[in-house]
Structure 1
Amino acid sequence: MKILIVDDEPLILNGLVKVVEEVSPDGTDIRAAFNAPEALVAMKRFMPDITITDINMPEKNGFELIEEARVENLCERFIILTGYDEFEYVRRALRTGVVDYLLKPLDKKEIAALLARVQEELPAVSDSEYSQHAERILAYLQKNYMNDLSLDHLANRMNLHPNYISSLFKKETGDNFVNYLNSFRIREAQKLLITQSHLTVCAISRQVGFDTKHYFAKVFKKFAGTTPGAYRESGAEGANKTDERYDRLHGKD
């Protein structure tokens, strides 16, 4: 199980980490962040199974962190911590759909029982099963990239949890689902632009899964560094340059 703990007060954060380390199930991996922006960066790399977060933090509070993390499919299980025993916080926490709401200081027995419950709810996946899931999902995406794909669609199709698929993408590709899908679509568009001169840019954008020519051009420029029209005009020389740009964007030598 992977746990991220977020609190803007260093002494409290260190204390929380020690308590959670003491009561967590064996094999638990724990990371810490001092604020919401730092937590969001950590989530993209770590993909926690559960995030334990303070409510009152500068820049973004705990609820804003939860909302943004869910929009980006970075984590879906949250435990909220606060020193304020107020019903409004409890009500809002429940509306946000958190796993639980705990008051500081933490009760060791309470957090131990809660983490044990979360551990039981997580899918138990062996390395071989993980590899099989990765191969199946990536094969499906590469065959159906031109269709309307989302994490929820993949989750329903593969009978897996969206958060698990999101974590799998990060581990297997070093990228999130949306970036991986878009980069794959752009690679296919590049091939068509060079080899299918009779197809318009608009037709190619639809053929590789983009709803509008404008959005296709925006994403194409992000990955290729140029417009689809300019790429087509540059031919093989442009293809080599944009392949180099793609490798740099994805950290390849």
Structure 2
Amino acid sequence: MKILIVDDEPLILKGLVKIVEEVAPAGSDICSAFNAWEALETMKRFMPDVTITDINMPEKNGFELIHDARLEGLCDRFIILTGYDEFEYVRQALRSGVVDYLLKPLDKKEIAGLLSRVKEELPAATDSEYSRHAERILAYLQLNYMNDLSLDHLAEHMSLHPNYISSLFKKETGDTFVNYLNSLRIREAQKLLKTQPQLTVCAISQQVGFDTKHYFAKVFKKYAGTTPGAYREHKEEDESIQAINGKD
């Protein structure tokens, strides 16, 4: 099991890591981060099964970390840790759908029980099962990339846990679910921009699964390095030059 621990206080983080190392299920892999930004970057390569995070951190707090991590498909299970026993935190934690809410100082028996529970909930799969799931998921995306897709939707359709799918994506493609889906959509959009000149950029954005032309243009530029309109114009110029050279 992969466990990520996040706290902006170095001494506390060191202590948390030591405690978790003592009580985590055998074979667990433990990583740490000093803030939410570092945690998000760590998640992209580590893909934790569960993240233990402090709430009060500078620039981006624990709840914002949870929101961003889930949005990018980086982690789905969280244990919130804080030194403040306040109802508002408890209410936000429940709304965020976290595994549990713990107060500092950390109780070894309590965290041990939680981590054991998380371990039991993780799907166990052989390599052959893992490969079969990967093939099904990638084939489904190829056929349905134009639809409104999310990790939760995919998990429900495939009867798998969202975090399991996240880990699978990282292992099979080296990428996150969101990046893989966006890359797929942009590749399909490039084909349409090149071969369907009668279609508007807005129509193409809808055909490949984007709600708005503006968001499509933003994602397209991120992955293709240019805007949809500029990409189409460049392709048309290349084809004109090829046609002229062909006549010569």
TM-score bracket, shorter-length normalisation: 0.7 to 0.9
Q: CA deviation at 1:158?
A: 0.9
Give the conservation status (yes or no) of the 8 Å contact 2:73–2:176. Answer: no
Q: CA deviation at 1:190?
A: 1.8
Give the conservation status (yes or no) of the 8 Å contact 2:53–2:78. Answer: yes
Number of positions where the alignment pairs a residue of Structure 1 with one of Structure 2: 239
Q: CA deviation at 1:236?
A: 8.1
C-alpha change, 1:224 and 1:126, in structure 2 (3 Å) is same
Give the conservation status (yes or no) of the 8 Å contact 2:166–2:176. Answer: yes
Distance 1:198 1:88 in 2: 54
Give the conservation status (yes or no) of the 8 Å contact 2:72–2:178. Answer: no
Q: Which residue of 2 aligns with 1:243?
A: none
Q: Which runs of 5+ in 2 are unaligned?
A: 240-248
Distance 2:95 2:158 in 1: 29
Distance 2:238 2:15 in 1: 54
Q: CA deviation at 1:77?
A: 1.9
Q: CA deviation at 1:188?
A: 1.7
> Does 1:185 find its partner at 2:180?
no
- Pick 1 or 2: higher relative contact order, CA cutoff 8 A, min separation 6: 2
Q: CA deviation at 1:50?
A: 1.1
- Kindly provide the CA deviation profile for residues 148-207 of structure 1, in whole angstroms up to 9, marking residues without a partner as x: 222222122111122222232233222222222222122122223323344443433333
Matches within 5 A, 1:141-160: 141-160=141-160
Distance 1:119 1:127 in 2: 18
C-alpha change, 1:138 and 1:195, in structure 2 (3 Å) is same
Q: CA deviation at 1:85?
A: 4.3
Paired amino acid for 1:226: T
Distance 1:225 1:94 in 2: 40
Percent identity between matched residues is 83
Q: Which residue of 2 aligns with 1:248?
A: none
Q: CA deviation at 1:235?
A: 2.6
C-alpha change, 1:93 and 1:192, in structure 2 (3 Å) is closer
Distance 2:215 2:6 in 1: 35
Q: Which runs of 5+ in 1 are unaligned?
A: 240-253
C-alpha change, 1:200 and 1:83, in structure 2 (3 Å) is closer
> Does 1:54 find its partner at 2:54?
yes
> Does 1:30 find its partner at 2:30?
yes
> Does 1:100 find its partner at 2:72?
no
Q: Which residue of 2 aligns with 1:211?
A: 211
Matches within 5 A, 1:78-89: 78-89=78-89
Q: CA deviation at 1:32?
A: 0.3
- Aligned-residue CA RMSD (Å): 2.5
Higher mean C-alpha deviation, range 49-58 or range 116-125? 49-58
Higher mean C-alpha deviation, range 47-56 or range 73-82? 73-82
TM-score when normalising by structure 1: 0.82
Distance 2:209 2:92 in 1: 38
Distance 1:164 1:125 in 2: 10
Distance 2:96 2:67 in 1: 8
Q: CA deviation at 1:237?
A: 8.2
C-alpha change, 1:138 and 1:234, in structure 2 (3 Å) is same
Distance 1:42 1:209 in 2: 29
Q: Which runs of 4+ in 1 moved over 6 A?
A: 236-239
Give the conservation status (yes or no) of the 8 Å contact 1:231–1:238. Answer: no
Matches within 5 A, 1:193-204: 193-204=193-204
Give the conservation status (yes or no) of the 8 Å contact 1:25–1:116. Answer: yes
- Kindly provide the CA deviation profile for residues 102-154 of structure 1, in whole angstroms up to 9, marking residues without a partner as x: 33333322222221111111111222211111111111111222222222221
